Structure 1
Amino acid sequence: MIQNPGFLLTVLAFVAVIGPLVFVHELGHYLVGRWCGVKAEAFSIGFGPELFAWVDRRGTRWRVAALPLGGYVRFKGDMNAASMTDPAWLEMSAGDRAESFPAKPLWQRAAIVAAGPAINFLFAILIIATFAFVHGESRTPAVAGIVEQGSAADAAGIKVGDRILSFNGRTMDTYTDMVMYTRIRPGEPVDVAIERNGQRLEVRTKIGAVMEDDGFGQKFRVGRLGIGAGEPVVERVSLLRAPIVAVERTGQIVRTMVETLGQIVSGGRSVKELGGPLKIAQVSGQAATLGLESFIFFVALISINLGFINLLPIPMLDGGHLLFYGIEAVQRRPVSPQAQEWAYRSGLAVLMAMMLLVTFNDLSSFGLWQSLSGLIG
């Protein structure tokens, strides 16, 4: 078992992950805002008490706060850090209104909001592209090199040498595609299309479920079909193809996130699997113990996660703002201030409930509740 990191390394690793990613996210908003001629009044990394700050020559207050769990850019015309429009912007002078956020065309406001999640995805793509260029791309064929005796694949009659064509209609190009598909579907039925001796066959089985240890004492349930890879194939990746590989890999990760979230919403997966800042901090420390490359790849994964979460259509998040802009585009007028206020209040309640849930899950995964029940008992 890999040794768990100490408290200090965990805290430092967490700050090293979250701090730069929050900065990158908010920098996306800031840069596109400047390009659109909007004045940024404040650029904050973190929330809560201000640790230090300075004002640049454009009048933007750059601040670092005590709680590094997020950040914001407050543009002229914003009422607060959630980018709610200040009704007083209409009373500004013509010059001030011209550089305020609410005065900009719909497409510019949407571009400014979308820039945050977009730059998180681009940041991750840059990292993954670099890894692909340096280490190559795994292109091991989706061929059964090994079939474990007694496994789901064995029960379905899959044999060594069979080429796996698809799972439930989804094409399997590589062995990695197979692993990513089955891993998040323990216990689910699957129709498998295979090619054997030039003939196409269809078999049906149920993906097996096994408990795995992450090396740090945490156990989790994953799906496994019981098919081992054949001879590994790693192809060199040119500088021009590296971004394409990175985009494809990022798309796979996002699709897995969407499918996993759908399983939680539909009840197919427990909400206990949702993690929050405490879990990210723990895994940040663990990734740091595995070396620089593992840590950097973990940063890429969290960057994708941050971009994805911010695109959820929840008011207070970037996705909620984009939803309002979509409605505005359809009805050709902004959503009423009353409806926006109601939506923001509801969105805040949803986010607070989610934070409480994931924090509860994090503390449960640390064994806190078991320890407390032992003390009480």
Structure 2
Amino acid sequence: MAALLSVFGFIIMLGLLIFIHEFGHFLFAKMFGVRVDVFSLGFYGRIFSFRWGETRYQIGWLPLGGYVKMFGDAEVSEIPPHLRHCAFACKPLWQRALIVFAGPFANIVVLPLMALGIIYLLQGQAVSTTIGSVIPGYPAAKAGLQAGDRIDAVNGTKTRYFRDLLHLIGDIPGKHVQLRITRGKRQFDVKIIPRTIEEDDAFGSKKKRGIIGITADFRTPTVGISDPNSPAYRAGLRTWDRIIAVNGTPIRRWEELVRFRQSHPKGPHKYTVQRTLRIHNPALRFRHPMKPHTIVVHPATRLTSKGKAVYWDGIHSSELFVKSVRAGTPLAKAGIQVGDRLLKLGGKTLQIASDLGSLPNKKDAKYTIVYERKGEITRRSFTLFEVTFVDPLKQRHKRTLLGIQLGMPYERGVKIPITSPVSFAFRRAAQDTWFFSGLLVRVIKKLFTQEISSDNIGGPIMIFQIAQEAVKSGWEIFLRHLALISINLGIVNLLPIPLLDGGHLLFFLIEGVIRRPVPPKIKESAFLLGLIFLLFLFLLAIKNDLQRLFSG
């Protein structure tokens, strides 16, 4: 049954990719009065066909593409005068260019908008502007914003969804922003200056963006205990325990636990704890919640570096505790182990997990890491290097990475019903389409500059594998993969290679500059070179597909 679903998913995915591309050519040809003789999905012969009007619609035996055969795509001199009104070659240059461009456009824009739009249209809910967590030291924290606050407007512009909120703030880095805040039953305004950061946009260009240090996802009160001599450890608390109530009052957020401990520093603190039993075994791996139990922690006093006595219980958020270490990676070789609490990286004090991303990701760069293990602080040096990993499709990638996974005790932010679902879905789909397009342009560029190995080029077998994985993961993943592959197909088709749509557009551009069609002999030679190149590319893709299929 699973195999049949995989085959069905592959047929649907490939069929949609080909159909939308050829339909783009077909639609614009009809719009401009060009006669279409054949609309074909697949090549070589006909499995099925029918005629409707002047066009024969058919399905070919080889489902690796399709074509739209238009009347009069030869030289104008070869077309009878009485039929030139419906001949492709006799149409104005701009119309011919649009007919050719319409295929890639349908792949890059139309199909992704439809696929992604369906995802967002059926979601029904989106993450609200309720703050899940406030990052210490960032503008939001300095302005007094708290977890649970809801941001209703930015500079007078009403905002309902968190993603839109980030876009509004991101577009005005370093400038005063007035936020309308709802806290409980109270509303008030806060003026804030977003911190300016520089990051790559979708197409790899550097762009300044504003951030204020908030997340929609909220930190759960999942604890990390790094000192075995701490009151919390002696009372029985362990790393990854989740506190679900304090003194009988249920809590969901880490900030609630922090406020309780600050308001009752002396204790004792009565915690209801949910512990998850983790079994890691090659044959059996699962997590099982144990029955909640009560632990009472009696904070102790200790002296700070300035000689001041403070109450201390040894409880930290598990966010910066190492949950897993990948063998052979830089931090694994530096001696980092599961359960270590990370304190500093590259000289910078770590406050949240995303601080790890601020480390320049450069090969052979040398850094230091400071961590706590069993109450002892250790400092180690390490060097970043490329690590090879294999994705689910057996593609090999090289990337500089640290090689650890942290606790990340986050849960999804508060969701609310979507108003105006059609406009919401279109806006989100357009944003994702733009992002995916930029990402794939960068990937193709890196393939040509050999920053990414040509071993990653895939063909029909790879598309089958993607469809297979997508079918297993559900309809939403299937539609996202469909959108990505469609954009990729459209961008590749726009490359200025003869036989591809981009090659035809290049000839049209030359024709527009020199004011006459490119000589047929030059076209024929270029098409032959293009055919050789595409044949080589196809064989390379098949070779890579077979290697991935039979490796390991």
TM-score category by the smaller chain? Answer: 0.7 to 0.9
2: CA distance between counterparts of 1:158 and 1:207? Answer: 23
Give 1:356 deviation, angstroms.
0.3
Partner of 1:374: none
Change in CA separation of 1:101 and 1:221 when aligned onto 2, cut-off 3 Å: same
Partner of 1:35: 31
Partner of 2:498: 315
Counterpart selection for 1:24 from 4, 7, 20:
20
2: CA distance between counterparts of 1:213 and 1:20? Answer: 25
Q: Which runs of 5+ in 2 are unaligned?
A: 128-161, 167-210, 220-318, 323-330, 335-341, 366-382
Q: Could you report, residue by residue, the CA deviation over 1:199-230 in whole angstroms, capped at 9, with x for unpaired residues? A: xxxxxx9687463653x776654554679776
2: CA distance between counterparts of 1:234 and 1:129? Answer: 22
2: CA distance between counterparts of 1:265 and 1:28? Answer: 28
Equivalent position amino acid for 1:48 in 2: Y
Counterpart selection for 2:539 from 335, 356, 370:
356
Contact 2:459/2:541 (8 A) holds in 1:
yes
Equivalent position amino acid for 2:18 in 1: V
Change in CA separation of 1:25 and 1:235 when aligned onto 2, cut-off 3 Å: farther
Partner of 1:111: 98
Deviates more, 1:309-318 or 1:257-266: 257-266
The SS at the match of 2:495 is coil
Give 1:99 deviation, angstroms.
0.4
Contact 1:147/1:227 (8 A) holds in 2:
no
2: CA distance between counterparts of 1:365 and 1:260? Answer: 20
Greater gyration radius: 2
Give 1:339 deviation, angstroms.
1.3
Equivalenced residues, count = 326
Matched, 1:65 2:96: no
Q: Could you report, residue by residue, the CA deviation over 1:88-112 in whole angstroms, capped at 9, with x for unpaired residues? A: x424332311100000001100110
1: CA distance between counterparts of 2:62 and 2:354? Answer: 51
Partner of 1:82: none
Q: In the TM superposition, what are the counterparts of 1:1-377 in structure 2 within 5 Å? A: 5-6=2-3, 8-57=4-53, 59-78=54-73, 86-87=74-75, 89-120=76-107, 121-135=109-123, 136=126, 139=163, 146=319, 150=331, 155-156=345-346, 157=348, 159-161=350-352, 187=363, 209=387, 211=389, 213-214=391-392, 220-222=397-399, 224=401, 232-233=412-413, 238-239=420-421, 240-367=423-550
Give 1:243 deviation, angstroms.
2.1
The SS at the match of 2:452 is coil
Change in CA separation of 1:217 and 1:311 when aligned onto 2, cut-off 3 Å: closer
Q: Could you report, residue by residue, the CA deviation over 1:91-139 in whole angstroms, capped at 9, with x for unpaired residues? A: 4332311100000001100110111111122111122123234434774
1: CA distance between counterparts of 2:358 and 2:527? Answer: 41
Equivalent position amino acid for 2:515 in 1: R
Higher helix share: 1
Deviates more, 1:227-236 or 1:344-353: 227-236
Equivalent position amino acid for 2:496 in 1: P
Q: Could you report, residue by residue, the CA deviation over 1:136-174 in whole angstroms, capped at 9, with x for unpaired residues? A: 47748887985576499963336225987x989xxxxxx
2: CA distance between counterparts of 1:343 and 1:167? Answer: 47
Change in CA separation of 1:234 and 1:362 when aligned onto 2, cut-off 3 Å: farther
Q: What TM-score comes out, normalization by structure 1 length?
A: 0.74
Contact 2:22/2:103 (8 A) holds in 1:
yes
1: CA distance between counterparts of 2:470 and 2:31? Answer: 37
Q: Could you report, residue by residue, the CA deviation over 1:298-345 in whole angstroms, capped at 9, with x for unpaired residues? A: 222222122112111111111111111112222222211111111111
Contact 1:54/1:63 (8 A) holds in 2:
yes
The SS at the match of 1:68 is strand
Give 1:60 deviation, angstroms.
1.1
1: CA distance between counterparts of 2:550 and 2:475? Answer: 29
Deviates more, 1:135-144 or 1:8-17: 135-144
The SS at the match of 2:508 is helix
1: CA distance between counterparts of 2:10 and 2:362? Answer: 30
Contact 1:186/1:222 (8 A) holds in 2:
no
Give 1:48 deviation, angstroms.
1.3
Q: Which runs of 5+ in 1 are unaligned?
A: 79-85, 169-181, 190-204, 371-377
Taking CA–CA contacts closer than 8 Å with sequence separation of 6 or more, which of the two structures ends up with the larger relative contact order? Answer: 1
Partner of 1:175: none
Change in CA separation of 1:163 and 1:14 when aligned onto 2, cut-off 3 Å: closer
1: CA distance between counterparts of 2:28 and 2:349? Answer: 53
Higher strand share: 2
1: CA distance between counterparts of 2:451 and 2:345? Answer: 24
Partner of 1:197: none
